[in-house]
Amino acid sequence: MKKILITGCLGQIGSELTHRLRVMYGAENVIATDIRHIEGNPVIEGGTFEILDVMDYEAMLGLCKKYEVDTLMHLAALLSAVGEAKPKFAWDLNMGGLMNALEVSRELNLKLFIPSSIAAFGPGTPVDMTPQDTVQRPTTMYGVTKVSGELLCDYYFTKYGVDVRGVRFPGLISYKTLPGGGTTDYAVDIYYEALKNKKYTSFIGKGTYMDMMYMPDAIDAIIQLMEADPSRLKHRNAFNITAMSFEPEQIAASIKKFIPEFEISYNVDPVRQGIANSWPNSIDASAAHEEWDFNPQYDLDRMTKDMLENLSEKLGIPFRELALA
Ligand code: SER
């Protein structure tokens, strides 16, 4: 990777990935794009930024040519809960954007990163330690686009030799940019509310386990996979990755170590609960460990400490820190 163009840069992953890549590869070598412009946003201020609608093939091709990029990272997509509210649009955007990214990469011989998700699994999937290769059949539109995307990426590699790589992300937790309408978002919201109000009403029910990962580990994983020796990659696309699996009571207990007064209560949203119930409890990331040394650094308590410290500073709300048990 020498010159990289990223789509969806103002989103939860994009905003942090853009910053990290600019530090590592030089600001002049990372082209940030998004469909929106947000005045004063650090991604826009920190280097080259272009407006790009990923549904516009010619525009995507034109920008990749203009900046002579060798790598494309395609992040622009709709998440699970928004996808259920707007299924047709989710299909059009997620598949249309992906097809354009694959075609541009084929045409210009680019290396391509495509994120998939735990949403690519469904109710028929083994729920505990879900294997890398197993039954998928998701029941959400987001999941349908993700599993279709995984297949398309494999197709473009096999048929055309496009060097497309990807992971199945679990819920991603971060303090810089909010996620845009997913099912795992409760695990981000809870930290904001813990600091602001010392209580949180969860839209995901007690006992619902989902895989999660802290954003620094997610960014490391993207870069590590893209830099990995291709001869070691047996899967190439859609690697299961995860750093932890927890249910709401466990994240609440972790927060209580730092904010003892914190209380969690529940008001379950049937749509997002239904989505969560169709996903695995925990996935097996051994293929990623074996093929490109995936090795996340943050467990739940370490993530909680970092989230609370950074959010405390961001929101200007101090919190009492207790020693970790
Ligand atoms: N975090 C995503 C969502 O909840 C899963 O990929 O939609």
- CATH number at 249 reads 3.90.25
The rounded radius of gyration (Å) of the Cα atoms in the chain is 19
Please indicate, yes or no, whether residues 151 and 8 belong to a single structural domain of this protein: yes
Strands (DSSP E) found in 107-166:
111-113, 116-117, 164-165
101 and 166 inside one domain:
yes
Please work out whether the CB of residue 141 comes within 6 Å of at least one atom of ligand 1. Answer: no
So what's the pLDDT on residue 310? 96
Q: Which amino acid makes up residue 92?
A: D
Distance CA 177, CA 16 (A): 8
278 lines ligand 1 (CB under 6 A): no
* Residue of 183, 188, 277 to mutate, ligand 1, most atoms within 8 A of C-beta: 183
Q: Indicate whether 57 and 128 sit together in one domain.
A: yes
CA of 242 to the centre of ligand 1 (A): 13
84 lies in some domain: yes
How many other C-beta atoms are found inside a 10 Å radius of the C-beta of residue 144?
Answer: 22
Q: What is the mean pLDDT of residues 76-95?
A: 96
Q: Say if strands 71-74 and 30-34 run parallel, antiparallel, or are unpaired.
A: unpaired
Does 116 contact ligand 1 (Cβ within 6 A)?
no
Within-domain flag for 233: yes
Q: Can you name the residues that pair with 244 across neighbouring β-strands? A: 212
322 — pLDDT class (breaks 50, 70, 90): low
**DSSP code per residue over 237-258:** S-EE--SEEE-HHHHHHHHHTT
Q: What is the C-alpha to C-alpha distance for residues 271 and 203, in angstroms, rounded to an integer?
A: 10
State whether 132 and 194 are in the same domain. Answer: no
Active-site residue (options: 67, 142, 186, 298): 142
Centre of ligand 1 to C-alpha 198, Å, is 25
CA 203/CA 193 separation, integer angstroms: 13
Task: Tell me what pLDDT residue 320 has.
Answer: 67
Average pLDDT value for residue range 11-29: 98
125 close to ligand 1 (CB < 6 Angstrom): no
Average pLDDT estimate for 240-248: 98
Distance 95 CA to ligand 1 centre (A): 16
Distance (Å, whole) CA 291 – CA 225? 9
In a domain, 288, yes or no: no
Structure tokens at 164: 């497309």
Tell me if 140 CB under 6 Å of ligand 1. Answer: no
Compute the distance from residue 140 Cα to the ligand 1 centre, in Å. Answer: 11
Cβ-based neighbour number of residue 66 at 10 Å:
11
| Closest ligand 1 atom number to CA of residue 146 | 6
The verdict on 25 and 123 lying in the same domain is: yes
Residue 83 alpha carbon, nearest atom of ligand 1: 7
Does 322 reside within a domain?
Answer: no
Assess whether 46 and 128 both reside in one domain. Answer: yes
Q: For residue 321, tell me if it sits in a domain.
A: no
Nearest one of 284, 281, 279, 248 to 80, comparing CA atoms: 279
User: Other C-beta atoms within 10 Å of 91: how many?
Assistant: 17
Kindly report, residue by residue over 174-221, the tens digit of the pLDDT. Answer: 999 999 889 999 999 999 999 999 999 999 999 999 999 999 999 999
Residue 324 confidence (pLDDT) above 70: no
68 C-alpha to center of ligand 1: Å?
32
**Atom 2 of ligand 1, nearest CA residue:** 182
Pairing of strands 199-202, 239-240: unpaired
Are 39 and 185 contained in the same domain? no
Q: Are residues 154 and 272 in the same domain?
A: no
Helix residue ranges per DSSP H, 12-140: 12-25, 42-45, 57-66, 80-85, 87-108
Residue 112's pLDDT is: 98
- Assigned token pair, 61: 């091709």
List Cβ neighbours of 107 (8 Å cut-off, separation of 6 or more).
61
Domain that residue 303 falls in = 172-212+243-282+297-315
**Domains contained in the chain, number:** 2
- For the chain, the average pLDDT equals 96
pLDDT of 1:
85
- Residue 160 appears among annotated catalytic residues: no
> Is the C-beta atom of 240 inside 6 A of ligand 1?
no
Say yes or no: 162 and 263 in one domain: no
In a domain, 70, yes or no: yes
Q: What is the pLDDT of residues 165-176, one digit of tens each?
A: 999 999 999 999
Q: Is the pLDDT of residue 321 over 90?
A: no
Tell whether 222 and 123 lie within a shared domain: yes
**Three-state secondary-structure class, residue 54:** coil
Q: Is 182 in the pocket of ligand 1 (CB under 6 A)?
A: yes
Q: What is the pLDDT of residue 250?
A: 98
> Which atom of ligand 1 is the closest one to the Cα of 179?
1
Q: Which atom of ligand 1 is nearest to the CA of 172?
A: 1
Residue 75's CATH number: 3.40.50.720
Q: Does residue 320 belong to any structural domain of this protein? A: no
- Determine contact, residues 9/75, Cβ cutoff 8 Å: yes
For ligand 1, atom 1: residue with the closest CA:
171
Q: Examine residue 287 and state whether it is found in any structural domain, yes or no.
A: no
As a whole number, mean pLDDT of residues 8-37 equals 98
Q: Are residues 141 and 182 in the same domain?
A: no
Distance from residue 138's CA to the centre of ligand 1 (Å): 13
Residues 157 and 177 in one domain: no
Cα–Cα distance, 68 to 49 (Å, whole number): 15
Q: Are 148 and 136 in contact (CB under 8 A)?
A: no
28 C-alpha to ligand 1 centroid (Å): 31
